[in-house]
Amino acid sequence: MNWDTIFKEIKGKHDFTEMDSFLEEAYETKEIYPARENIYNAFKYTPFDKVKVVILGQDPYHGPDQAHGLAFSVKNGTKLPPSLRNMYKELEEDTGCVRQTGELTGWAEEGVLLLNTVMTVEKGQANSHRGIGWETFTNEVIKAVSDEKEHVVFILWGKPAQSKLPLIDTTKHHIITSVHPSPLSAFRGFFGSKPYSQTNDYLKAQGLEPINWCKEVVMHEK
């Protein structure tokens, strides 16, 4: 099984013509993030057979030079957004790992699928592409990972991510939940939740290689 096969199956079940038309016009007439060639980077950097962990985000960052197709990640050299800063704070507390850049391509290459449930956004307009069809697509992706794989860790931060629980077979996968790492909620249970060491403890218990959360890789764009 690979992403191409899964995408063909999804497109055989659902009609994305309206979404495709919407995005075509949006990219031609507005500032949309991420760049069109980066929309599917989560799948490019984490092949289906390598997926060990799924971290769900909502929609891409809507500021310039931030989003590049991986949830929570920002392009190298960009200031850390508040949620990512809190993720790194917990990472250091949990594992001792101190990261230098906001780009999470290294995590993606380790097998962490960094999936936004809505995969595009208009500049300065959070959630502007909610409801155009992305949720149908990403719900099917989540189901495919759940159905076709086993012993995957799903990290669900916040209620929107946790609303995807019915798509996941919890009898063969490991679920980690807490409040979102945003400044509005991080102090209500994200800090101290130890998601990174929890993930690796589970993977090791299944005889799988743990994630190197310290791995730094900078994506080289064309």
Structural domains in the chain, sorted by start: 3-205 (3.40.470.10)
pLDDT of residue 40: 98
List, in sequence order, the alpha helices (H) in 40-133.
41-45, 82-95, 105-110
Active site residues: 59
Mean pLDDT of 105-118: 97
pLDDT band for position 222 (50/70/90)?
Answer: very low
pLDDT reading at 34 higher than 70: yes
Mean pLDDT of 66-77: 95
Q: Which helix (H) or strand (E) holds 112?
A: strand 112-116
pLDDT band for position 5 (50/70/90)?
Answer: very high
pLDDT reading at 130 higher than 60: yes
Going by their DSSP bridges, the two strands 153-157 and 174-178 should be labelled as: parallel
User: CA 99, CA 221: separation in Å to the nearest integer?
Assistant: 21
Q: Check: CB of residue 43 under 8 Å from CB of residue 37.
A: no
pLDDT of residue 220: 53
